[in-house]
Amino acid sequence: MPHSDEQAVLDRIRQGLVYTESEASFQASQRRTDLIFEYNHTPPSEVDKRGSLLVAILGSVGERAVLLPPFHAGFGSNVYIGDDFFGNVNLTFVDDVDIRIGDGVMIAPSVTLTTTGHPVHPARRVDYARFSEPIVIEDKVWIGSNAVVLPGVRIGYGSVIGAGSVVSRDVPPMVVAVGTPCRVLRPITDDDLTARLT
């Protein structure tokens, strides 16, 4: 059971309120940085070792999950990945709070999923002050290269996020969404069953 001061900080974090590095320092034991380093330096032929490391790093890992190294995470332990996940190289999880990824999700190279932001006024950024809100990526989502998903975003079932997009608000299910800021371009329809491009 957390100390009452720690519980108060956890409550603020859960509410999306500002907290500092010093206040959250009690969470340091949940960081898996050494294991992430080891994973990123494990030879490709050592598939079983990589699998064991990934289970030790992440909050949970589904069946047939693939995460190509290198990847980066602030904690690792706050990332939950479903079945048939594919994460390409240079995936970054800023997982101060939960990042929950469903089944059949594909993420292209150099994508950032960040649950954390900082106050705009510099006086409020002392001691790395920040706020954190969870990210949810539903089943069958595809996120294109160099996309950034910001705190508190939910991406709906089956949607496609275009390369280079900055996703700052929720994306509904079964749409193609692109741009900075990311906006819905069009629905995904049965016509897409025979088309190659978006």
Among this protein's residues, is 72 annotated catalytic?
Answer: no
Per DSSP, what are the bridge partners of residue 149? Answer: 113, 167
* Dist CA 75 CA 58 (whole Å): 8
Which member of 3, 72, 118, 121 is catalytic?
118
Q: Any idea which residue has 């309120």 for tokens?
A: 17
- Per the document, the length of the chain is 198
In order of 20, 68, 143, 174, the CA distances from 88 in angstroms are: 32, 5, 10, 22
Residue 5 tokens, joined: 């001061």
Which residues are known catalytic residues? 118
